[in-house]
Structure formats: structure tokens, C-alpha cells
Structure 1
Amino acid sequence: MTTTTMRNRSGRPRPAAACAPTLLALALLAGCGGGGGNPNYALLGLLRPTEPGTPAPAPAPAPSPEARCADMVGQHGLAGTTLKTRYVAAGTRRPGTATTGDFLGGHCVVTGSIDPRTGVDGKPYAIGFELSLPDDWNGRFLYLGGGGNDGTLRDTSLSSSISIGTPSPLGQGYAVVSTNAGHEGTSASFGADPQARIDHAYNAHDKTAQAAKALITWRYGKAAHHAYFSGCSGGGRQGMMFSQRFPDYFDGITAGAPAMRVSSGATIAAMWNNRKFTDIAPVGGDGKPVLSQAFSNTDLNLVADAVLAACDAGDGAVDGLVQNTRACRFDPAVLQCAGTKNDSCISAAQVHALKDVFGGPKDSAGKALYVTQPWDPGIRDAGWRAWTLGTSTTGTPNSRYNVLMVDALVNEFFTPPDPAFNPLAFNFDTDPARMQAFSAVYDTYRDDQLTAFKARGGKLMFIHGMADPIFSADEVVEYYERLAANHGGIAATQGFARTFLVPGMAHCSGGPATDTTDSLQAMVDWVEKGIAPDTLAARASATNAYFPNRTRPLCPYPKFAKYKGSGSIEEAASFSCEAS
């Protein structure tokens, strides 16, 4: 026979005899046996009367993960949002396009569209997102940052762009989301629509994060116990934006090469660098300068070797890396040819161009418009060339300065847009003013307090390559020192924010560097276990062209990895983090 135990307000059991005919008891009289029949009469309609000996009905079977995935389309409850779903069975897919390695577990891939509309330019817009929900959820939520001009959905089966080569977070059980930032296509032409600019800056990310969190709660019946963000470049900017505009959304944010001043600093530097290199480029058959030939690969190798000669030994080991970055001093004039240009020297014009580029852009009065660039042997890498010089053998350049940065400048960063603008005509006295309106909305370098994010216990990690040719590592150092000055110094600031510089690394990855590190796991350990990252274990891939499989500790700024004096220079164990 089934019995019902009554409890008092303290939660302790109360005998049935204690039931008194109060107002509540009158409604529950049958529960005290006053009904003269089976004591299982309905209690406020919650219990059904049963005959003695009648077996309880079997519980309805729980819907399968595949069914839950399909049900989300009609039951999600999000306003202004349409969803499509597809279920991926366990053992049928690997991360990304991998053809070897571990398969992913079963998961639901949700593709969403928020607030579809027609822009003032007549084009369709919507905030798109992809959310992967694993059957075997670890209780965590990860937001993958985008990059470039956005406009695509990052594959949520992959790791963050600052953790390429590390295990798939989805494969580890994270619920993972990415967004197109409010528009389709990688062109910045969406800048003609004012709302698309706002979506790209912050609104699309706000709405994507909210939608993802709501769907996670719907799918699992509870919210994520911790939320993380990880991204690089434009994704790094997005992480900083969250720490400032929406400081309660994420417990831990990893911002790689954050584009803090992209619309008012780094893009100016790109135009400056493009001009300086174009000015010294040889003229091709069509009478136009061939940008890619401003420096040959031989020239760049000369510069890289000279930087190493000046700075490599500063960390105690001659190993092809400049670890003690703060102590590095280099003047390219040491390479200037005494006579005719040859393969063992560079011309006076090349020397001057390098000094101008690494010294940072200036207006005609000599006022700095962006930070300096650090000298690093990563200048020899193809990733550095791709941004600065490109590979085109004609007068039509294909460097990313000319392709990606000019696109963003003329369509989005200028207010109003100026699609016909000639980048070589950029006026460093007047054109920066045309970028200030959007900078106030888009850039993240101004807030060096992060008061609300710190107060709620948020953790912030910067990772930046020393050979990054678009967002200078000197920028993240300058920002971090301002942040530290507002929080009692670097030692105190490291309680919630740390910076890791990666010698040799180009933009987000690549180069003569140990460029692979599992920053997500380091962040989880920091947030959930209180284990602050005193080092990040980093490695070069097996296919790294410079030193395959090398390992190094990445050290929190201002420390650097110093050789202990013994042991293999290929092994992290031979180095320790020391103050410079």
C-alpha cells in the first residue's frame, strides 16, 4: 500500500494523526484518511486514487537525443528566431574535415537565424548562429569568436582559432556556439547598413549568447555551470567586448591577438606599412610597383638572422627564438649595403622602410597614430609576408593589407563608407578623423578598468604572437600595463588577467614558434579550480618548418622562458619563467 508522509515547514516528517481541519486541511482531508476509503485519494489533484494492489503505471520513456534535437525546432520559444537542426550520431563524424583521429560523440547541430530583415542597402540580413549540443554534456558552454569581417559560421566541432591543434571542445562535451555576426559573406560591404555595423560590433554577439544559453537550458533542463569565450583577432576583440559591455556573460575569456584598435589604429598602421613598402617596390612591366618584391625572401631571412644575432642569446640559449622580448634592441642599419645591393645586405631604402614600419605610423607633426612593432625573427615566415607584401608578381597586390584591411576601412571603418577610396592616398593628418565615429562603437582599447568583469570574478587571458604583422604585440603590452596601473600593479592584476607573448608566432598561429597551447583547459583550471596559469605548456607541431615538436613554457608577462643552462633546448623542462 502506498502512503503519503506529511511534513511540517521545517521539512521534518509529520504523522498523519497530526492533520487538523484547518483551511488547508479541509482541502487535504482525504489525505488524512477522512474520506473513508483508500488513503491515496487525490491531494489537490496531484495523486490519483488507485485500487489496492494495482501496479503503478510505467513511466513514459524519455525521448531520444535525436528526438529532442528535432523537437527543438518547434518548442524552443525564442522570439524572432527560426531554427534548423540535424542530429549527428556518435561515431559518424570527426572534428572539422579530419579523416583520422577520434570520432565525436552524438550531438545536435542547431542552426539559427535571429531577427531577419532587409537592410537599407536592399540586402537580406539576419544574425546567424550554429550551436552544437553534445549528448554527453560536461555542463560547460563555449562561445567561439570569429575573425576578419566575419560573415561565416565557424565550425563548432573545431577548437578556437587561438588553440588550433588542440582537442575539439565539442568532443570533450562542451556546448559550443559561433555566429556570423549579423551578415552573410566575408566582404565588409555590409557597412552600408547602419544596423549591420551595430550587429557586427556587439549586438549579434549579445543575442547569440542569449539564444545559446536559452537553448542549452531547454535541452538539458539546466543552465551551464560555467561559460567560456575563446577567439583570436576579430574574435579576440569580441572577447574584450564581452568583458566590457556584457561582463556577466562569461566566467573566463581568452582573447588572442585582440583587435583592440582595429578601426582606429591597426588599420591606419596597415595603410602606413602598405605605403612604405609600395614606395620602395620595383616597377613591373605595366609601370606599377610590384609590392611583393619590395623585399625578397632572401632579404627577409637576412633581417631575421640579424635580429637573432642581436637578441637570441638574451634568454640564455641560442635556439632561434627571442624569448627575452623586452631586452631586444635591433637596428636594421647593420644590414645596409656599403655599395651595390646584393644577397648579403639590403638597400638604404629598405632600411628606412623597415624603420618606418616598425616605428609605427605618424602624422605630419610626428604624432604616433598606433604603437610600434617588436623585432622578431618571425619576419621570415610566409604568414608575415601574406599580410604585408603578398605574393602577386604584378602591379595588383594581394597582401591582406590591400585585400582585407582596405575592404574593412572603406566599407565599415570610414563613416560614411567610401568604397572608391584609394588606400595609397590615405592622408595621415585628416583620414584618421573619419574613423573615430565607428571606433567609439567598435574598438575596445579605451576601457582599461574592466571593473564589473573583475568584480564578478571573471578571468581574462591575452595570447599574442611577437611576429604578428597586423595587431602589434606592443599593443597588448601597452593595454595590459594600463590595466595593471589601475589595479595595483601587475602582481595584483594577475589575479584576474594575464598576458602571454609567443615568440616567433605570426597572426594567431604559425611561424617559427611553439604556437599550440590548450588555453581553454588552462582557463577552466583557473576558473573552476583556482589554479592560475603560471605557465602555458606550448609546442610546435610535427610539421613545423623550423623546429618540429619543440616544446616551451609560455610565461605570463613580464616573465620570459629562460634556459636553465642544461638539458635539451627542444624541451620545455630545460626552461623556467624568469623576470626580465
Structure 2
Amino acid sequence: MRHALAGTALATILSVVGAAASQTAGALPACDAVTTAMVGLPNVVILSSALAAEDKSLPPLPPHCVVRGKANQRVGADGKPYAIGFEMRLPVNWNGRFLHQVNGGNEGVVIPALGDARNLQAVGYNPALARGFAVLSGDGGHADKDPANADKGLAAGAAFGLDPQARRDYGYAADTTMAAVGKALIAKVYGAGPQHSYMVGCSNGGRHAMVTASRAPDQYDGFVAIAPGFNLPKAAVQHAWDVQSFRSVNLDIRKSFSAADMTLVAQGVLNACDRLDGLADGLVSDLRACQKSFDLASLQCVGEKTDQCLAGVQVTALKRAFAGPVNSKGEALYSDWSFDGGMGAKNWRSWKVEGIPAWDGYPVIAVQGAASLSHIFTTPPTPVAGTPTALVDFLANFDFDRDAPKIHAKGPAMVDGRAIDYAESAMEFMTPPDAANPTLAGLKASGGKMIVVHGQSDAVFSINDTARWYEALNANSKGEAAAFARFFAVPGMSHCRGGPATDAYDALGAIVDWAEHGKAPDRIIATVSEKNDEVPAAWSKTRTRPLCVWPKLARYVGGDPERAESFDCQ
């Protein structure tokens, strides 16, 4: 099926941007003047527009126009209605920049377009809108709160995976559409297109940034990809591997590892690795050396299980999980993982064994990857009842010889009595086309820049996978990848944020300085986040650390141990 906003329609929208590029930006018109007729873009409907007054709370926001709309309304192959929902926030005092805020999870809802609404620590608590950017946010081409999905419970957020175009939109096509719509809307409203454009996101949003940097690099000047799930279908296979590993300890995986157990592991890592960077400060900067220094078996109980050691079955299960999923031939299906000092954080246990609070009204439990794996990432999709028991059973019975290859499968299938053609596999619509052998040739040729940030204690996507991707990119670039792409590891940080880490940093400011002023970031200064409740009490509340360009790491060279100036990237 050809995308609704393609060919002539897309060219028409892009022509709006081109026609306005040479004009001088005018004043923001009255918000109620921003209507479907005024915008005049094919297949785009403006649903509402209203002025938001200045907000002096944290973070402070300037007066701006909030525009909400839909693009490409259609009926899917599964017989359900679809559209790409979006929100755009247009400041009265615009700085000439456009930021596409790409969101995480299964999407399905429009997150407020603040840039970045959910990951404020990654923009130094100074979101793009507050800086004068025009900001766009979308729902990925589907609404997971569709009443028709109510009976599917936990699986509702992934039910769109039955429709091929919804899969494609979620993977990459909605981003292409929204890039054109966002720029054209700016041109219509301000009388000129953006002078500079950026894309920023975490988790699935980080994946969006990496995919777009590969598929459409010329649409943006810079990309920020945080905790990027660029191999998301493979990472979903890891969910099944984890569940099967941890069920060997306890059939109720929530009881496989207690909070005390994981604190014990994290402390064991620190005991073995904390001083490898020259200072015992509760952070493991030399991650690679740590994997050689730390031996999980050293924590195994000699006799009965106590609070001071792990049972043998726990050690075996954790080793199996961290080695990564394999099939019966021993072929790797995703990635191995690194042990880090942040593994005792709530976020790690939440994603791996315990479950986390609801996001946007839908519970996210330890097996949250089940619905995505069954509905979106395998072909044909395997609808699963949306109950925790059914989802656990799906992962517990996942066969790594029979089922894992389905993330690479495509073709016609009968689903819910409908003949549907899945022309692209999950690995094709979800990952960058050059993910296995990265070059980012288009990004390099266009002069674009990319910053990748990943927490070392991320429980969702392995930092080892990201590090290998960057090292392959650097090898393919003859050692010159840092000229256009840089990767920064964050010791102790959990998925996107949190954990015993200096997890607050301004990646947005860094990418703007690089893309517009040629100031490549050799180090990004990170601080203790004001909202991170897992920072050890012994740390200074003003602790700073340099995040270093991989494979360099922050080594202590003397001075105040709480200040970034006392560390050198080596």
C-alpha cells in the first residue's frame, strides 16, 4: 500500500516550505486564524488552535500557539480507522528553529510538544519551546486508546500492528510525513520555513532519530538519539529470553530477584570496578575493564541463601540473561549486556522483573515487550489476549528457533479472517537500513550531525549493542566517525534517565552548537538531576561529571572529586 501522503501530495507540502524559504518571517498570527483552510495542506486537518499564555512554573514556557491536527486519515487493512495525530507549539517569539520531538514506547498518544516533554533532564531542564523553537510531536500514526481496542487490555497499545501501514508509520513513514507537515506549517504561520531543524528522542524516540538519520538525513541539521532502540525487534526477543531465564528462579518473575538482591549485585560491581577510573565515587567509568574485573560468581552463596549472597540458581539465571538470547545453534539473536553500578536502581528491576507505573493510562509491566513482540515485531502477527498471564505465557513459550526468525519474515498472511500483505519485515520497517553495517553516508554528505547518549545500566536496550554500532560506524568511516556522529555513555544511568548517575545534561544545546557553529562536543557536562531520587546521599547535590566521546572515559586527574574539572576524557 502506498503511503497516503506521498508523491504529488508530499511534493506540494514541500513546495510550501521552498516557496517560503526566501521570505522574511512575520509575526505569529492570531491562533484562531490557524485553520485547515488557512494552512491548506493536502490530507491535513487542523482540529484546534489556541493561545497558551506564558507559564512561569518549571520549566517556564513562553506564550505560544498550540495547534492540534491529523494527517492521512484512512481505514486500515484491519478495518479500523487510522490517522497521524500531531501537536505543534509555535512560540510568539520564534528563534527560527524547528524541533521534531519523537516519542517513546508504542506511542499512540500525542505527548505535549515541549521538546522534550518526558526527557527534560536530557535538555538540561530547558526544553526547546522555552528556547524559542517551534516544536512538533505526533502519535506515530495510531491511537492506542481507540474504544475498539478496549477489550484487548494490555495489548491495546500494540493492536495497530495488525495493519501494515500502521506498522510502517510507526517505524518510519510518519516521521517523513511529519517532517514535511511541520516545516510547511511553520512556513504558513510565520511566512518563512525554519532556518535549522532538529530531531530529539529517547528509547523508541532515539530509534526514530537513528532511523531518520539513515533514511532522510537531509531533513534535519542535527539528531539526538538517547537510549536508542535501533534494534528494537531484537531487543523484544530479549524480553522472552529474560522471562525464561528468571522463571528458572521463580515462576513469578517478580520474585526472582529482590531489590536487596540487585543492590547486592550493584555493590559487587562497584567493589570490583569503582576505582578503575582513578577514584572511588560510586560510578563505573571504565565499563569495558569492569567486565573483566567483576565476577558474578563471587556473590554466590556457599551454603543457604542469605541477604549477603545470591543463590546458585540466581547467578546462573543472571549470567544467562546477560549473555543475550541465542538459538539452538548458538547464534546471537540480540546482544550481550554489561554489568554496571546502576543495576540496583528501581528502573532496572522495573523493566526486567517487577513492572513500572502506568504510562498514559496503560499499565506497563515487566513483560511489556510481549504485546509488541506478538503484534508488531513478528510476521504474521500473533494476537495475544491482553492479560498479564497471557502475556507472560507468550514470552515463556517463545521458541528461539521457531519464533525469533519471524522478526525477519514478511509476506501475505491471514489475520483475524483477513488476507493482509506484510510487505516489510519488522527489521525492515523498524531499524535503520544500514544498522548491520552502518555508514550514515547521507548524514555525512549532507553535513548533518548526530549525538547518541546511552545509560550504562539501561535494562531495555543494551549499551553493548550501541557501542558496537558506533565502533562499526567508526571503522567504516576510517576512524573519522566523530566528524559527524558522537556517542556518549552515562555511568550508572538507567533507561533514558535515573539511577545513581549524573543524568542531567544539555544534549540539545550541544547539537545546536555543533550543527550551527561547528563546535563539536568533546565532552558534555552532566549534573545531578533535581528529580532523581536515587542519587546516593553521600554525593554532592552539585556533582558534575564529563560525559566523554566513546571510547574515551572520565579519569580522575586530581582536585575536587565532585567537579567535572577534576576529570579528563582519556
TM over 0.5: yes
Report the AA paired with residue 267 of structure 2: D
The alpha carbon displacement at 1:191 in A equals 0.7
Matched, 1:252 2:244: no
Identical-residue share of aligned pairs (%): 41
1:50 corresponds to = none
- Which residue of structure 2 lines up, in the alignment, with residue 552 of structure 1? 545
Q: Which residue of 2 aligns with 1:116?
A: 73
Q: Give the root-mean-square deviation of aligned CA atoms.
A: 1.9
Does 2:127 match 1:168?
Answer: yes
Q: Per-residue displacement from partner, 1:65-117 (whole Å, max 9, x unpaired)?
A: 452552443211100111033332542x35xxxxx346422211111111111
Once residues 228 and 480 of structure 1 are traced to their aligned partners in structure 2, the CA distance between those partners, rounded to angstroms, is 21
Find the partner of 1:79 among 42, 67, 85.
Answer: 42
Matched, 1:430 2:402: yes
Structure 1 residue identity aligned to 2:297: A
1:243 aligns with 2:205: no
**Aligned pair 1:151/2:108, yes or no?**
yes
Native 8 Å contact 2:375 2:383 kept in 1 = yes
Q: Could you tell me which amino acid in structure 1 is paired with residue 406 of structure 2?
A: R
- What is the distance in 2 between the residues matched to 1:102 and 1:256? 21
**Distance in 1 separating the partners of 2:160 and 2:174:** 14
Query: With structure 2 as the length reference, what TM-score do the two structures score?
Result: 0.84
Matches of residues 143-292 of structure 1 in structure 2 within 5 Å?
A: 143-159=100-116, 161-164=118-121, 166-185=125-144, 187-263=157-233, 265-281=234-250, 289-292=251-254
Tell me, yes or no, if structure 1 residue 516 matches structure 2 residue 543. Answer: no
Single out whichever of 104-113 and 521-530 deviates more from structure 2.
Answer: 104-113
- The question of whether the paired residues in 2 share the 8 Å contact of 1:68 and 1:219 is answered with no
Structure 2: distance between partners of 1:374 and 1:206:
34
Q: 1:414 aligns with which of 361, 378, 383?
A: 378
Supply the AA of the counterpart residue of 2:41: L
CA distance 1:166–1:557, shift in 2 (3 Å): same
Instruction: Assess if the C-alpha contact under 8 Å between 1:181 and 1:199 holds in 2.
Output: yes
Distance 2:73 2:465 in 1: 37
* Higher RCO (CA-CA < 8 Å; seq separation 6+): 2
3-state secondary structure, aligned to 1:208: helix
Query: Please, what TM-score do these two structures have when normalized by structure 1?
Result: 0.82
Rounded to whole Å, the distance in 2 between the matches of 1:573 and 1:472 is 29
Relative to structure 1, is the Cα distance of residues 485 and 69 closer, same or farther in structure 2, using a 3 angstrom cutoff?
farther
2-structure distance, mates of 1:295, 1:67: 57
Q: Name which of 441, 447, 461 aligns with 1:451.
A: 441
1:347 aligns with one of 288, 301, 311: 311
For 1:364-513, list aligned pairs within 5 A.
364-390=328-354, 400-402=365-367, 404-420=368-384, 422-436=394-408, 437-444=425-432, 445-446=435-436, 448-489=438-479, 492-513=480-501
Structure 1 residues 158 and 214, CA gap change in structure 2 (3 angstroms): closer
Provide the secondary structure at the position in 2 that maps to 1:222: coil
Amino acid in structure 1 at the alignment position of 2:221: D
Asked whether the equivalents of residues 196 and 220 of structure 2 are also in contact (C-alpha less than 8 Å), the reply is yes
Secondary structure at 1:195 match in 2: helix
* Amino acid in the other structure paired with 1:170: L
Residue 563 of structure 2 aligns with which residue?
571
Cα 1:337–1:399 shift into 2, 3 Å: farther
Equivalent position SS for 1:536: strand
Structure 1 letter corresponding to 2:202: C
User: Does the residue aligned with 1:355 lie in a helix, a strand or coil?
Assistant: helix
The one-letter code sitting in structure 2 at the alignment partner of 1:75 is M
- Name the structure 2 match of 1:301: 263
Secondary structure (helix, strand or coil) at the match of 1:494 reads: helix
Residues 280 and 104 of structure 1, relative CA distance in 2, 3 Å threshold: same
Equivalents in 2 of 1:89, 1:435: separation in Å?
Answer: 44
Q: Distance in 2 between matches of 1:256 and 1:325?
A: 18
Q: Is the 8 A contact 1:271 1:401 kept in 2?
A: no
Q: Does residue 310 in structure 1 map to residue 272 in structure 2?
A: yes
Q: Secondary structure at the match of 1:464?
A: strand
Aligned partners of 1:369, 1:277: CA distance in 2, in Å? 18
CA drift of 1:273 comes to 0.9
| Preserved contact between residue 389 and residue 399 of structure 1 (Cα < 8 Å) | no
What letter matches 2:527 in structure 1? R
* Bigger Rg, which one: 1
Distance 1:219 1:152 in 2: 25
Cα distance change of structure 1 residues 532 and 67 upon mapping to structure 2, 3 Å threshold: same
Report the Cα offset of residue 333 of structure 1: 0.3
SS in 2 for 1:113: strand
Deviation at 1:554, TM superposition (A): 0.4
1:397-446 deviations in whole A, cap 9, x for unaligned? x87441x2101011111111112372101111121111112212212223
- Following the alignment from structure 2 to structure 1, what is the Cα–Cα distance between the partners of residues 175 and 437? 19
Residues of 2 paired with 1:217 and 1:259: CA distance? 32
Give distance in 2, aligned partners of 1:65 and 1:214: 15
Is the Cα contact below 8 Å between 1:336 and 1:346 reproduced in 2? yes
**Within 5 Å, which residues of 2 pair with 1:56-135?**
65=28, 67=30, 69-91=32-54, 93=55, 100-101=57-58, 103-135=60-92
Q: Distance in 1 between matches of 2:305 and 2:436?
A: 45
- Could you report, residue by residue, the CA deviation over 1:374-418 in whole angstroms, capped at 9, with x for unpaired residues? 1102110000011001159xxxxx87441x210101111111111
Contact 1:335 1:345 in 2 (8 A): yes
